[in-house]
Structure 1
Amino acid sequence: MSTFSSETAWLCLAVTAALGGLVLCKLKSPGQVGGKGVCLAGLWGGACLLSLSLFWSLILFSLSCFLLYTYLSGQELLPVDQKAVLITGGDSGIGHALCKYLDQLGFTVFAGVLDENGSGAEELRRTCSTRFSVLQLDVTDSQQIKDAYSKVVQKVQNRGLWAVVNNAGILGLPADGELIPMIHYKRCMDVNFFGAVEVTKAFLPLLRKSKGRLVNISSMAGGVPLFKMAAYGSSKAALTMFSAVMRQELSKWEVKVSNIQPGGFKTNITGTSEMQEKLEKDILDHLTPDVQEEYGQDYILAQKNVFKAVSTYASSDVSPVLQDIQHAISAKSPFTFYTPGSGAYLWLCFVSFSPTGIFDYFNKKFNYLNNGTPRILSMPNWKNKAM
């Protein structure tokens, strides 16, 4: 190798090292930003080294590091400056934890709760700062939404509202789609979708004024067809599409929209044992005799075991969700989608890009919500009888 070529190669190595170091510094971002950035840079660098000469590999890898550094510069967090944020569903679970988390960071937090006199609301009042406010806000009640809007306007005045986080949600009844009563389909849509839409419409004038953020908490189940989640998944899929449309329509107002699609996390979304027993009773009360006969009493009653399975495979550490929401609220250029939780991103990619038959095969293989076989399907020669 000539002296010139040797010096050029060493120069490229030095530039690559310098840019790589800058990228690693930038990758100290909340949530999943850092991990994905490292993966993309590693894959790109490996592809370059395997397919090109050393010189051009280093050139292209340096270019990729530079572009990644430029991109991640937009992920720097804006100063809090007591920015005002409205969070729905603050009574418990992720919403409750998020209220405390953002309050500690210095945000002015408005916690919309289902019961302003409940234990969750009382704990927030006791533990949060003087900036914190609790609002009675059932997202299915139009009058409560209007009242909450008036109270927020009164407090923020000219500062405006920086962000709305539509977090309120219910799981409904996790069971075979045919077994779920229509009342539970409608309830899931009322809370998970229509409630978020109405809250968004009510507070958008304040977000447009501040050029702020709209953050919708959807679910991995809104993009991945999971067993037993027909009602819940459908409502979250609707919310995901709503977010995508609003992202485009609000861009002219410089309002940024992000959709959070978490994997499994332990919250009280499954409800108390009393609530679960009521859901079980609702199944039996709404099924026709023919459907009850074909599924069988044992199979139907076993649906309550789905709640235990959901809790068993869920993570108790909700910090990845909180960090991603913080990033969506605070980053100069927030992401469109966030997928906190183990396996959420991979499952969403898998269902998007794999053939349907392959996805269905693996979905059945890894289905941890399976709880037996309907009575008629366990009978010998049931296929012949059906014909």
Structure 2
Amino acid sequence: MSTFSETVWLCLAVTVVLGGLALGNLRKIPGQMRRKVVCLAGLWGGAYLLFSLSLSWGLILFFLSCVLTYTYLSGQELLPVDQKAVLITGGDSGFGHALSKYLDELGFTVFVGVLDEKGSGAEELRRTCSKRLSVLQMDITDQQQIKDAHSKVVEKLQDRGLWAVVNNAGIICLPADGELIPMTDYKKCMAVNFFGAVEVTKAFLPLLRKSKGRLVNISSMAAGVPMEKLAAYSSSKAALTMFSAVMRQELSKWGVKVSVIQPGGFRTNIAGTSEMWSKLEKNILDHLSSDVEEDYGKDYILQQRNYLKSINIKTNTDISPVLQDIRHAVSAKSPFAFYAPGALAYCLLFFVSFSPTGIFDYFSKKLCEVRGSMPRALIKQP
């Protein structure tokens, strides 16, 4: 057998072994790991086809890809639960509620901050979860409630330490053109989505530094993708995303790892109810000047709730990708800095980041035209 043939067979053998080990590790890792490995394999396969490499070079490159993949995946293995303690805010409903149940089932000690400790969401958690889960009254815009929750966490954990904080609590308000959104709604979004998360982070960071644990902030795809009618919400989430990036750099010297989750379209209770929309519409109309109301028209303003209805129809009811990514951020040896669960979430963030602004704005404008709603002053009279 020639030296060349021996090299080919050696590469093939090592490729099979490392590929098998990589796939074995992949099966243990939830969430988006599969997408990344498939993309990596596709990259090498595409390079092979594009450059028409010989079999030997193709095997060598695939061998190298398997080495890189295996090395990469070795840092993505999940740490043992060992009843690690996790604090989750916004556990009344949505992601926070489902995440609390999910982590409790996995064996974590879960502290759930809720807006109403006597509400149906809190009662359901007490009824369905284990004794390891504790429900805490925690309005994250109330500094005293944050302090009280901190005291209860410290009292229960004593010397065990807090492993992770998941800042999940958030609101969206009524989507509308930025000019129509009252300043009270801008401030409310910032108070909950940004300042509240910062307040919670600052309160619990000493515990995270002690355990060299994890800080996970739930942002939104809207933080990186400009979306009409979400000026208040997107701005607050963009602030949270940048805060997470800065904290990731600053806390690395303490051994604390920081991740931000930017979900795409998933259906939760954040959109609110018809009764809530009516109150928000009244708030908008009460704060408009006469000339702005004249230009936009009351009919246009009252149609804004249709945006939320369309969100509820088009969004995904299966939130398991979000839960799996949060679990990975909490448990992986080397969690990612950014996660984007959801169909096309990564694609949209990539498109906005690297495509010419004019192209994105063109498609956004066309989408707005399809929806067919225009301010009164812009409607062409027959």
Fold match, TM over 0.5? Answer: yes
Residue 40 of structure 1 is matched in structure 2 by 40
Residue in 2 that maps onto 1:83:
84
Residue aligning to 2:11: 12
C-alpha distance in structure 2 between counterparts of 1:142 and 1:380, whole Å? 53
Aligned residue in 2 for 1:301: 302
Say whether the 8 Å CA contact 1:303–1:371 is kept in structure 2: no
Residue 100 of structure 2 corresponds to residue 99 of structure 1: yes
- How far apart, in 2, do the equivalents of 1:282 and 1:236 lie? 22
1-side partners of 2:372 and 2:197: how far apart? 32
Tell me the residue number matched to 1:164.
Answer: 165
Question: Please, which runs of 5 or more residues in structure 2 have no aligned partner?
Answer: none
**Corresponding residue for 2:354?**
353
Between the aligned partners of 1:94 and 1:5, the Cα distance in structure 2 is 56
Q: CA deviation at 1:371?
A: 5.1
Letter in 1 for 2:33: V
Equivalent residue number for residue 113 of structure 1:
114
Q: Quick check: 1:173–1:231 contact (8 Å CA) kept in 2?
A: no
Alignment partners' CA distance in 2, 1:193 and 1:152: 22
- How do 1:192-207 residues align onto structure 2 when only pairs under 5 Å count? 192-207=193-208
The change in CA–CA distance for 1:305 and 1:362 in structure 2 (over 3 A counts) is same
Aligned letter for 2:289?
T
Q: Do 1:75 and 1:332's aligned partners in 2 also have CA atoms closer than 8 Å? A: yes
CA shift for structure 1 position 157: 0.6
Partner of 2:182 in structure 1?
Answer: 181
The match for 2:286 is 285
**Per-residue deviation, 1:380:** 4.5
1:234 partner SS: helix
Which stretch of the first structure deviates more once superposed, 356-365 or 318-327? 356-365
Partner of 1:27: 26
Normalising by the residue count of structure 2, what TM-score does the alignment of the two structures yield? 0.96
Cα offset, 1:49, TM superposition: 4.6
Count of residues in Structure 1 that have an aligned counterpart in Structure 2: 380
Identity %: 75
| CA-CA distance at 1:67 after TM superposition | 1.1
Report the 3-state secondary structure (helix = DSSP H, G, I; strand = E; otherwise coil) of the residue aligned with 2:227: coil
SS in 1 for 2:251: helix
Q: Is the 8 A contact 1:211 1:255 kept in 2?
A: yes
Kindly provide the amino acid, as one letter, of the partner of residue 13 in structure 1.
Answer: L
Please give the residue correspondences for 1:312-327 in structure 2 after superposition, counting only pairs within 5 Å. 312-327=313-328
Structure 1 residues 141-171: Cα deviation after superposition (integer angstroms, max 9, x where no partner): 0000000000000000100000000000001
For residues 245-272 of structure 1, the C-alpha deviation after alignment (integer angstroms, 9 at most, x for no partner) is 0000000000000000000111110112
Alignment RMSD (CA, Å): 1.5
Assess if the C-alpha contact under 8 Å between 1:306 and 1:371 holds in 2: no
Structure 1 residues 310-363: Cα deviation after superposition (integer angstroms, max 9, x where no partner): 101111111000000000000000011111111111100110111101111223
> What TM-score comes out, normalization by structure 1 length?
0.95
Query: Would you say the 8 A contact 1:100–1:124 is kept in 2?
Result: yes
Q: CA deviation at 1:368?
A: 9.4
- For 1:304, give the aligned amino acid: R
Structure 2 residue aligned with 1:276: 277
Residue aligned with 2:303, SS: helix
Report the Cα distance in structure 1 between the residues aligned to 2:345 and 2:243, rounded to whole angstroms: 20
- Note if contact 1:173-1:279 (Cα within 8 Å) is conserved in structure 2: yes
Looking at structure 1, the residues matched to 372 and 207 of structure 2 have their Cα atoms a distance apart, in angstroms, of: 47
